[in-house]
Amino acid sequence: MKCNNCGFENKNTAKFCTKCGASLNDVAVPETKVQNSNSTKYAIIALVIVIIILVACLGYFMGTMNSNDSAQSGDSSQNSSSSKSVQSDDDSSGDEETTTVSSSQSSSTKATESKSWVSIGSYSGSGSGSQTIEVPSGEIMVKLSAYPIKNYATNHLYVTGSNGQSGGVDWGSHSDVETRSDSFSYTSSSSETFTIDYYETVSWEVEFYKYQ
């Protein structure tokens, strides 16, 4: 143990300096202990600094990860919106195709439902006489024609209905001996009875048509 007063090296068990007699109780802490104590303090300070740096780095990385997650969420939302838009376009396209098909079907239906004059009866003969026929309801057209034996001024072909509708041909005393024709049409909600009256004819013909 070194004496603080004279610097003499004494035994570790000495309480007083052998050289100067000074008390050794106030001996300073050995330099090694002081150095060890200082080293420990420095180590603690360095450890604290390292911990602070690690915490700062961890916080930085956590912030970066959160930013990336937010960006990915935004991209996902945009992708979802885009998908919905595409799907909407597909639906619209599907609607247009449906409309086109419907239009085609409508045109086909209209073509199928288009009406025309359809023959519902044809009657013919010669000479003189009369006959009665029954004509159904609807939009009806009557066509008639006849050719006389010769000009007697009484040759004729008349078609008369129970609804007052009529038509016919005849020849006067100075008329040419030739085929003559006539036609008329009407609409009725019930069936009608028609009388065909003909006199001195070589041939005659009466045709009934219905618009359907």
Give a yes or no: residue 100 inside a domain. no
Residue 194 makes CB contacts below 8 A (sequence gap 6+) with 132, 133, 134, 135, 142, 159, 160, 161, 162, 208
Asked whether residue 92 is domain-assigned, the answer is no
- Domain assignment of residue 197, yes or no: yes
pLDDT in tens, 177-203: 999 999 999 999 999 999 999 999 999
Q: Does residue 110 have a pLDDT over 70?
A: no
CA distance 107 to 23: 129
Domain span including residue 207? 117-211
Q: Which of helix, strand or coil describes residue 199?
A: strand
**CA-atom Rg of the chain in angstroms:** 64
Residue 165 covered by a domain: yes
55, part of any domain? no
The dihedral sign for the CA sequence 105, 110, 112, 113: positive
pLDDT of residue 99: 41
pLDDT at residue 23 greater than cutoff 80: yes
Please write the tens of the pLDDT for every residue from 114-140. 999 999 999 999 999 999 999 999 999
pLDDT tens for each residue of 83-102: 444 344 545 444 444 444 35
> Is residue 145 domain-resident?
yes
The secondary structure of 66-115 as a DSSP string is: HHHHHHHHHHHHHHHHHHHHHHHHHHHHHHHHHHHHHHHHHHHHHHHH--
**Can you name the residues that pair with 199 across neighbouring β-strands?**
156
Cα–Cα dist 198/160, whole Å: 11
* Distance (Å, whole) CA 209 – CA 212: 9
Question: Which CATH number does the domain housing residue 207 bear?
Answer: 2.60.120.340
- Whether 67 is covered by a domain: the verdict is no
Confidence of residue 77 (pLDDT cuts 50, 70, 90): low
Residue 34 has pLDDT above 60, yes or no: no
pLDDT at 172 over 50: yes
- Tokens of residue 47, six digits: 């450890």
pLDDT at 174 over 90: no
**Within a domain: 81:** no
> Per the structure, how many domains does the chain have?
1
pTM greater than 0.85 (yes/no): no
Structure confidence at residue 68 (pLDDT):
66
Average pLDDT, the chain: 81
